[in-house]
Structure 1
Amino acid sequence: THSGEKPYKCCECNYSCTQSGQLKRHTRVHTGEKPYKCSECSHSSRTSVQLKLHQRTHSGEKPYKCSECNYSSITSSAFKEHMRKHSGEKPFKCNECNYSFARSEHLKVHMRIHSGEKPYKCCECNYSSNTFGLLKEHMRTHTGEKPYKCSECKFTCSQSGHLGVHMRIHSGEKPHKCTECNYSCKTPGDLKVHMRTHSGEKPFICNECNYSCVSSSRLKVHMRTHSSEKPYKCSECNCSSKTLSAFKVHLRTHTGEKPFKCKECNFSSNASSSLKLHMRTHSGEKPFKCNECNYSCVTSSRLKVHMRTHSGEKPYKCNECSYTCARSSCLVIHKLTHTGLMPYKCSECNYRCAQLGNLRLHMRKHTGEKPYKCNECSYTCAQSSYLKTHKLTHTG
């Protein structure tokens, strides 16, 4: 033992040792022999020490106790690993990057990031992963299993991490904070996307045009402008949308919900963007100006449509006849002459119409809403055209 000589050598591998008893125990790795049997269950072990540790699972004995918390363990090795949580010690270091770990098996898993090794393979598809835990989560995409349940609502999910993020909806917790501004969010992924608003980085690039953006989800939505894909479909009518946010706004046309309310008048809307535009009727702001004439308007889309009066462009074409027009809304209305469809229904009476705008105007008959006010007298009305006609009484 002092000379360092190891005369006992394994004939199956490169293992060598100083004592014959050690070699005897080692050879059981190759033979599979487990002579030490548990009297409580069918477990067997290669060594008496391993059997002694196993028997503590029956007796409940945990002789290694932490002085910092109430943790206790069966083995000294598990106890040693636990103590690193208190000391912060991470002795297992990656030689490829700056990562270090408290446990050797965590380093082993981490090294697969560098090697690209993914030993855990799905038997249903060609998915593979570097940890068994990730494979187990993936398998739930095939089985549909969602074992993690929210205690506050009906939400269920396949991953514990997803449940943790979801719970922040109820708690309002936003632990990830921007160092550049007062923005905070629920997930590190959201923070990463937000930081690009400061750096100007737009790594997601469209291969059809020169569009670029800060997140893969935004690029996915943008790509629908090329494919015309509209995955969000309404169960009440034949409307479909490219984005979830637009779909939510559309659903409010059926429910009548208008959560966005004007502080200046009794106007309310089913979309925040509509409220923003409405506020310009109070401020008089018309930031979008035509460089061909004196026309100005409250939205860039209206200016774009207006410019077609100068160019004569009519990009919207009917596939049933030769009709063309400058506005998509005009084409939608025109197509109803072929189908006769009137998708917008009044929840108060039997009125139906082809346009959402007409339904909104009609609903004011029931609500009594008159959002248009004369600045010369106390006159109010439900439609902008009525106000325009009324103002002529003041001008003579």
Structure 2
Amino acid sequence: MEDHMTGHNKVKRYECDVCGKAWQWPSDLEIHRRVHTGERPFDCLECGKSFKMARDLKDHRRVHTGEKPYGCSICGKSFAQSSGLQRHRRVHSGERPFPCSDCGKGFKLSTDLLMHRRLHTGERPYTCSDCGKGFTRSSSLLYHQRTHTGDSPFICIKSGKGFTRSTRLLSHQRVHAGDCPIPSPVCEVHFATASHALSLQRVHTSGQPYDCPYCGEAFDSSRGLRQHRRAHAFQESTGAAGPPADTQQRQTL
């Protein structure tokens, strides 16, 4: 009875002896203590994952059952957890409750803010074990490591070409489908990818920002420069003659 009346009076008399935070109910204090002890007494029988609270296990179980009881009243999309619906609603409302203290930019998710903050701090906690290059996101490190392993897990079923990212496969597939949603900013032509549209824009403006350090020849895309530099690498490995005469002439002009 005394504990029950304490709850009505909103007196927080149950205090954590580790951090000093207090609660109205002893059961809440017991749950909180698991933060310090790391105890996770609620196990999923399907996958073995453990949780601190019974309601967290209940929400997790929906991953296995496919149940999605939380539906968006605007677009009808459903979610397994109420937190997922809450985050989704920000797509419709435009709410960005996590602002950056340095530049003021707002984010819908706290994790997105965390990633953004690394732009200001310079923190790159994900380091490549092969070359030492650092990244702000684990996904960026994963993509980068494929440049060392040659792994291209996203395969086009029409051409057999492999890609390190699913987004690059999607862009490539638009070429086969004839889907060109990206308009050129300077003419009526449409392109499958924004990079192709940018390359054409440089043609219109006579901009060729990618210069070869060996012969000085310029290109309107980094891809064109990469392909060109392979010729120099081949010449070095075989002892072949230098760049064509017209290229050498351009260097001396």
Q: TM-score, normalised by structure 1?
A: 0.51
Distance 2:225 2:14 in 1: 63
Asked if the contact 2:153/2:162 (under 8 Å) is kept, the reply is yes
Structure 2: distance between partners of 1:105 and 1:282: 70
> Are 2:27 and 1:80 equivalent residues in the alignment?
no
Distance 1:268 1:129 in 2: 51
- Between the aligned partners of 2:83 and 2:37, the Cα distance in structure 1 is 26
Q: Work out the CA distance in 1 between the residues paired with 2:163 and 2:131.
A: 22
Give yes or no for contact 2:6–2:24 (8 Å, CA) kept in 1.
no
How far is 1:193 from its partner? 0.5
The separation in 1 between residues aligned to 2:22 and 2:13, in whole angstroms, is: 7
| Segment drifting more, 114-123 vs 171-180 | 171-180
Structure label with greater radius of gyration: 1
Compared CA separation, residues 106 and 257, structure 1 to 2 (3 A): farther
Aligned partner letter, 1:260: I
Distance 2:36 2:43 in 1: 18
Is the 8 Å Cα contact of residues 203 and 213 (structure 1) preserved in structure 2?
yes
Counterpart residue number, 2:72: 150
TM-aligned CA deviation for residue 114 of structure 1:
1.9
Aligned residues: 236
1:274 Cα deviation from its structure 2 partner = 2.7
Task: Give the secondary-structure state (helix, strand or coil) at the position aligned to 1:312.
Answer: helix
Q: Conserved in 2, the CA contact under 8 Å of 1:234 and 1:240? A: yes
Q: How does 1:20-35 map to 2 (within 5 A)?
A: none
1:221-257 superposed Cα distances (whole Å, 9 cap, x missing partner) = 3344455555556677756643232244234335544
2:46 equivalent in structure 1: 124
Cα distance, 1:229–1:105 mapped onto 2, change above 3 Å: farther
Q: 1:200 aligns with which of 106, 118, 122?
A: 122
Contact 2:7 2:25 survives alignment (8 Å): no
Query: How high is the sequence identity, in percent, across the aligned residues?
Result: 33
Residue equivalent to 2:88: 166
Using a 3 Å threshold, how does the CA distance of structure 1 residues 144 and 274 change in structure 2: closer, same or farther?
A: same
1:196 to partner: Cα distance: 0.4
One-letter amino acid matched to 1:80:
N
1:292 partnered with 2:214: yes
TM-score (normalised: structure 2): 0.76
Deviation of residue 143 (structure 1)? 2.0
One-letter amino acid of the structure 1 residue matched with residue 9 of structure 2 = K
Aligned to 1:136: 58
Q: In 1, are the aligned partners of 2:22 and 2:29 still within 8 Å (CA)?
A: yes
Aligned to 2:181: 259
**1:108 match:** 30
**1:332 — aligned with what?**
none
Aligned-pair CA distance for 1:164: 1.3
Q: Which residue identity lines up with residue 79 of structure 1 in the other structure?
A: H
Any idea what the Cα deviations from partners look like across 1:288-310, whole Å, max 9, x if unmatched?
Answer: 22221121223333222212222
> Which residue in 2 is equivalent to 1:279?
201
Which SS does the other structure have where 1:201 is aligned?
Answer: coil
Q: 1:118·1:128 contact (CA, 8 Å) conserved in 2?
A: yes
CA-CA distance at 1:199 after TM superposition:
0.5
Gaps of 5+ in 2: 238-253
Equivalent-residue separation in structure 2 for 1:276 and 1:221 (angstroms): 23
Which structure 2 residues correspond to residues 1-396 of structure 1 after superposition, within 5 A?
76-81=5-10, 93-97=15-19, 104-230=26-152, 232=154, 241-253=163-175, 256-312=178-234
Structure 1 residues 225 and 103, CA gap change in structure 2 (3 angstroms) = farther
